[in-house]
Amino acid sequence: MSTAQSIPDILSAEFAADPYPVYRALREHAPLLWHEPTKSYVVSRYEDVARVFKDKESVFTTDNYDWQLEPVHGRTILQLSGREHAVRRALVAPAFRGSELQETFLPVIRRNSRELVDAFRDRGSADLVAEYATRFPVHVIADMLGLDKADHARFHGWYTNVIAFLGNLAGDPEVTAAGERTRVEFTEYMLPIIQRRRAEPGDDLLSRLCAAEVDGVRMSDEDIKAFCSLLLAAGGETTDKAIASIFANLLAHPEQLAAVRADRSLIDRAFVETLRWTPPVHMIMRQTAAEVELAGGTVPAGATITCLIGSANRDGARYRDPDRFDLFRDDLTTTTAFSAAADHLAFALGRHFCVGALLARAEVETGVNDLLDALPDLRFADGFAPEERGVFTRGPQTLPVVFTPVGR
């Protein structure tokens, strides 16, 4: 194990500006790094991160979420294990896959996408982040849950505070306080709605969660509130950044954009390659239940491990020419990319694979199709070059584009 003093710190401005050279140095020179500021062991190679995520022996636990998530969400499904986790996942998963997703929520996705696109399609210019990407997934989730989309600004503020808390690697006390306030505010907002939905159920996801039962187990009001909080944060932030990154990547590679415009079956490939090349989430933590050998060193029991997804997804030992965006690459399998058997690590792997992966896929397919249909000759605004921002989560903060105006 190394402390690698010559490699820029993952909390440094140099890393925030461009983490990919740092990732390469970590993979080559310090694949297991003790990071004193976060009191964690950092792993950066694909095989090591995949091993942590796929863990079948419960050595790499999610106990870290007790302090990383619970203060802002309450106790969530991510903290559970064994039968308790399996039952809770069975309670929530049906809404995010199969016929329920296709028949019930796909119309919600399509309606929200088209409403947003119609607001700027005849203008000839837009910021795809501010006017579409940051709004679309939150509007979808609000509609799915039967919440008031007029509260969008509150939802966006809450999930921004939650994501900041989750990625507060430097321990900023103001970020901590904002995250803790968010839990109080969201609880005060959601619990009365949950109680009304129990008394007068509708056909929305919130009503279904209130009524769901598996093996005699039902979700409490607190369980449902915590899940909704997690859904808004994880579903909002990640899909927001994924959509923005797909267009940033395609617009920077016009020949690949032209291929997707001509053959929409390539949208999945563009999404999967974006998840590999510029994933929305760059880091996920785990906690060891026992001493373990990892990445050529020893990690003690009870230690936090920081898994660098952004590094693992660009590991040359796993992907050919890993620093090149190529939706046609043959070393990334699209057919399994939205399942626990995925090649990339953007949704994690194993039993804690992202429950919302298929929802994200449906949102991205709809959004990319709608935007390409409505915005001919789409290109960056003059003088603009895309730039990522963020450390824990990462993506373009703005994406000004121009196009030929087309009415509805």
Q: Could you give the CA distance from residue 248 to residue 105 in angstroms, rounded to a whole number?
A: 27
Q: Could you give the CA distance from residue 43 to residue 297 in angstroms, rounded to a whole number?
A: 11
- CA dist list (Å): 191 to 28, 188, 232: 49, 6, 15
The bridge status of strand 60-61 relative to strand 40-43 is: unpaired
The pLDDT assigned to 105 comes to 85
* pTM to 2 decimal places: 0.91
Nearest to 190 by CA among 168, 205, 177, 175: 205
Q: Could you give the CA distance from residue 172 to residue 121 in angstroms, rounded to a whole number?
A: 41
Q: Name every residue whose Cβ is closer than 8 Å to that of residue 50 and which is 6 or more positions away in sequence.
A: 312, 345, 349
CA 406 to chain CA mean position, Å = 32
Q: Could you give the CA distance from residue 165 to residue 95 in angstroms, rounded to a whole number?
A: 28
The pLDDT assigned to 27 comes to 97
Per-residue pLDDT of the chain (408 residues; tens, 9 = 90+): 555 668 999 999 999 999 999 999 999 999 999 999 999 999 999 999 999 999 877 899 989 888 888 888 888 777 667 777 677 677 777 767 767 777 778 899 999 999 999 999 999 999 999 999 999 999 999 998 999 888 888 888 888 888 888 888 888 899 999 999 999 999 999 999 999 999 999 888 899 888 887 778 788 999 889 888 888 887 888 899 999 999 999 999 999 999 999 999 999 999 999 999 999 999 999 999 999 999 999 999 999 999 999 999 999 999 999 999 999 999 999 888 888 888 899 988 877 677 778 888 999 999 999 999 999 999 999 999 999 999 989 999 999 999 999 766
Architecture of domain 32-398: Orthogonal Bundle (1.10)
* Residue 124 amino acid letter: G
Q: Could you give the CA distance from residue 384 to residue 312 in angstroms, rounded to a whole number?
A: 29
Residue position matching structure tokens 């090591």 = 48
Q: What pairs with residue 365 in β-bridges?
A: none
The bridge status of strand 400-402 relative to strand 395-396 is: unpaired
**292 phi/psi in degrees, rounded to 5:** -145, 145
* Residue 220 amino acid letter: S
Q: Could you give the CA distance from residue 221 to residue 45 in angstroms, rounded to a whole number?
A: 40
Q: Are 242 and 274 in contact (CB under 8 A)?
A: yes
The pLDDT assigned to 88 comes to 67
Q: Could you give the CA distance from residue 380 to residue 358 in angstroms, rounded to a whole number?
A: 29
Q: Could you give the CA distance from residue 254 to residue 331 in angstroms, rounded to a whole number?
A: 22
Let me know the angle formed at the C-alpha of 231 by 343 and 185, rounded to the nearest 5 degrees: 150
The pLDDT assigned to 197 comes to 94
Q: Could you give the CA distance from residue 242 to residue 322 in angstroms, rounded to a whole number?
A: 19
Find the Cα–Cα–Cα–Cα dihedral 317, 318, 323, 326, rounded to 10°: 150
- What is the Cβ-side half-sphere exposure of residue 55, based on CA atoms within 13 angstroms? 21
The pLDDT assigned to 408 comes to 66
Q: Are 64 and 285 in contact (CB under 8 A)?
A: yes
Q: Could you give the CA distance from residue 287 to residue 62 in angstroms, rounded to a whole number?
A: 6
